[in-house]
């Protein structure tokens, strides 16, 4: 998406949410990642920053899983568990 702008100073916080300085007004957030995800550390850092800002965060790390595991191997048990957990989180968030 960012192409040559990746990592540059002109990338908006809307394109790279981890760059946002004030996260306090963001809504409840669901984040999941695989433990073998290339962006895992950034994901965990962002989840921590959200939590520190007072945002309710549902964070799940799926052991041994890689980027896009739930779409690439959708029939695997971990993929089915991930999808079910995400769907339940959405149901809870909308049940207000």
In tens, the pLDDT along 76-96 reads 999 999 999 999 999 998 886
pTM: 0.82
User: What pLDDT does 96 receive?
Assistant: 63
d(CA 26, CA 90): 16
User: What pLDDT does 5 receive?
Assistant: 83
User: What pLDDT does 8 receive?
Assistant: 85
The answer for 64, left when phi > 0, alpha when psi is -120 to 50, beta otherwise, is left
Contacts of 12 (CB under 8 A, 6+ apart): 19
């Amino acid at each position: 998406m960012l192409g040559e702008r990746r990592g540059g100073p002109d990338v908006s916080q809307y394109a790279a949410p981890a760059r946002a300085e004030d996260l306090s007004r963001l809504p409840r957030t669901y984040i999941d990642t695989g433990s073998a995800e290339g962006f895992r550390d950034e994901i965990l850092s962002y989840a921590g920053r959200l939590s520190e800002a007072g945002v309710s965060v549902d964070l799940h790390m799926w052991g041994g899983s890689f980027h896009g595991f739930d779409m690439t191997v959708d029939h695997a048990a971990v993929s089915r568990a991930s999808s079910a957990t995400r769907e339940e989180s959405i149901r809870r968030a909308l049940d207000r």
